[in-house]
Amino acid sequence: MATKYIFVTGGVTSSLGKGIISASLAKLLQARGFSVTIQKFDPYINIDPGTLNPYEHGECYVTEDGAETDLDLGHYERFLNVPTSQANNVTTGRIYYNVIMQEREGAYLGKTVQVIPHITDEIKRRMLLLGESGEYDIVITEIGGCVGDIESLPFIEAVRQLRWELGVHESCVIHLTLVPFLKAAGELKTKPTQHSVRDLSEAGVQPDILVCRSEYPIPSDLRKKIALFCNVKINSVIESLDADTIYDVPLLMRKEKLDERVISKLKLPHRADPNLDSWKEFLGRLKNPTSEVNIALVGKYVELPDAYKSIVEAFVHAGSANECKVNIKWFQSENITDDNVAGLLKDMDGVLVAPGFGERGFKGKLEAIRFVRENNIPFMGICLGMQCAAVEFARNVLGLEGAASTEMDAETQHPVIDMMEDQKQITQKGGTMRLGAYTCELKKGSKAYSIYGKSKISERHRHRYEFNNKYLAAFEQAGMMATGINPDTGLVEVIELQNHPWFVAAQYHPELKSTVLNPHPLFVKFVKAASNYRKS
């Protein structure tokens, strides 16, 4: 069977949930036995989101092969339980960069390089790349931004050309719109959807299926009206209501028969009904917890929860595994001081100090860690959180005054966290950190070993600074053990505190590998430790 292509576009407004709809559809098709992948095309000019402030675009998601990508790729992996790669996220910046590099090499033989055909050809090449690998029956392409925006025009044009080239039943376009409810008039309005579909049609792309986001059910007369004005069949007008959790969406889309409409449009072989048993079990545990815990998330971007999207979702997976409701309490690390830390954290069953870059909020993170270390509250540190745990220990236990990371204080007498040697020569910021999956050896008998249940693990990284091994002997003598080490470089990956019920910090990002069907063991055991702490 030749690979089939599904394009997902959005209109009216951004943030309607194209990523969740794409991931949900992919899940339903996967549950029917098709092999599916999803790719995201982003219309911004950054080559990747690696240098973007999390407030701009939420977290930066890192793949196994070290690509810094859009947070939607996190949803794809969490839903499908299949890793994505560099090829699954493409930006306008990347497309233009490739074309300009080819132009400099003389690849266009003196031709004038233009948006059509050169930019659109490169977009089409990237759209087909994963399909041509032979690994997938279906490739879903989500196009970021809104139809009608100047920046997404070349992508829509590429879709128009591709549909023509691929043939009638080889591709399908799903357009996501909003059907708002006007309180004053007391009714749902279809006009924004009509305008959005008109914009898409003017660009030469007629959608096959409309997914209408709404806060209220869309009655059948309105569905008829939308179908009539937008040239789609009435059974291809799909209602997408707000859900309690994003993990409900595959089941809601199944009820609306989204997967069946796609199968019929693409003339796919009818395989068995989707097997969603394990998904439903996960939801059952998630919605019927037998206990709850309060976990503090201490970070510097807490005003935008999307900045820590993967961590939040890893807690959802771990909560379900423990049949425990995880209440995340957000703490801006800038606001935590020696005077208020006890009052802020006293009712917490566990504290996670989040990753981040830069000096802002650093002191507050150290105060939070000192409090949980001294009061035996379960603690987990991720990336910068692990580095903070090392700095706090150096200052308050080893008595190394002014100990710091050279990221925060280049002149420190005690650089317990220092820039990696191979990073010191680098001047470019984008895509130059230690990125992607690296192996780690866990020491037998350690807490980390018992959490993972094995000695060799692979986890994803995104950092420039590392634990300075000159201080390792002093740390271990005082009870802070390095229990995870990179076998090739000797870099410290995991530290844990002896004589503490649960104090584990990792240089890598465990949250990036947590999925619905494979919740991450570190999060599962952390939630369990928090639950035990609460009971005691």
Edge-to-edge strand order for the sheet containing 465-467? 404-405, 415-419, 465-467
62/528 Cα distance (integer angstroms):
27
Q: Is 450 annotated as a binding residue?
A: no
Q: Is 192 annotated as a binding residue?
A: yes
Instruction: Find out whether 218 and 212 touch, Cβ atoms under 8 Å.
Output: yes
* Nearest-5° Cα angle at 350, 402 to 444: 80
Q: Is 227 annotated as a binding residue?
A: no
Catalytic residue among 383, 459, 461, 493: 383
Instruction: Find out whether 534 and 97 touch, Cβ atoms under 8 Å.
Output: no
Q: Which letter does DSSP use for residue 117 in this model? A: I
Q: Spell out a b/e string for 208-217, using b for 16 or more CB atoms within 10 Å of the CB, else e.
A: bbbbbbbeee
Q: Is 193 annotated as a binding residue?
A: yes
Q: Is 15 annotated as a binding residue?
A: yes
Residue 89 CA neighbour count, 13 Å, CB half: 28
Q: Is 20 annotated as a binding residue?
A: yes
169/398 Cα distance (integer angstroms):
68
* Nearest-5° Cα angle at 70, 432 to 511: 80
Q: Is 285 annotated as a binding residue?
A: no
Q: Is 385 annotated as a binding residue?
A: yes
Q: Is 190 annotated as a binding residue?
A: yes
Q: Is 189 annotated as a binding residue?
A: yes
Residue 508 CA: distances (Å) to CA of 296, 384, 486: 20, 9, 11
Alpha helices in 81-203 (DSSP H): 92-104, 120-129, 153-166, 191-202
Is 374 annotated as catalytic? no
Q: Is 17 annotated as a binding residue?
A: yes
Q: Is 100 annotated as a binding residue?
A: no
Q: Is 105 annotated as a binding residue?
A: no
Catalytic residue among 157, 500, 511, 520: 511
The tokens describing 344, both together, are 């802020």
119/114 Cα distance (integer angstroms):
7
Q: Is 191 annotated as a binding residue?
A: yes
Local structure of 525: helix, strand or coil: helix
Q: Is 151 annotated as a binding residue?
A: yes
Is 324 annotated as catalytic? no
Catalytic residue among 461, 500, 509, 520: 509
Rg of the chain's alpha carbons, rounded to an integer? 25
Q: Is 225 annotated as a binding residue?
A: yes
Q: Is 485 annotated as a binding residue?
A: no
Q: Is 187 annotated as a binding residue?
A: no
Backbone conformation region of residue 31, classed left if phi is above 0, alpha if psi is from -120 to 50, else beta: alpha
Q: Is 382 annotated as a binding residue?
A: no
Q: Is 142 annotated as a binding residue?
A: yes
Of 401, 375, 412, 405, which is closest to residue 389 (Cα–Cα)? Answer: 405
Instruction: Find out whether 80 and 518 touch, Cβ atoms under 8 Å.
Output: no
Instruction: Find out whether 200 and 11 touch, Cβ atoms under 8 Å.
Output: yes
Give residues with Cβ within 8 angstroms of 273, minimum separation 6: 32
Is 383 annotated as catalytic? yes
Residues annotated in a binding site: 14-20, 55, 72, 142, 149-151, 189-194, 225, 243, 356, 384-387, 407, 464
Residues annotated in a binding site for UTP: 14, 189-194, 225
Residues annotated in a binding site for L-glutamine: 55, 356, 384-387, 407, 464
Residues annotated in a binding site for ATP: 15-20, 72, 243
Residues annotated in a binding site for CTP: 14, 149-151, 189-194, 225
**Catalytic (active-site) positions:** 383, 509, 511
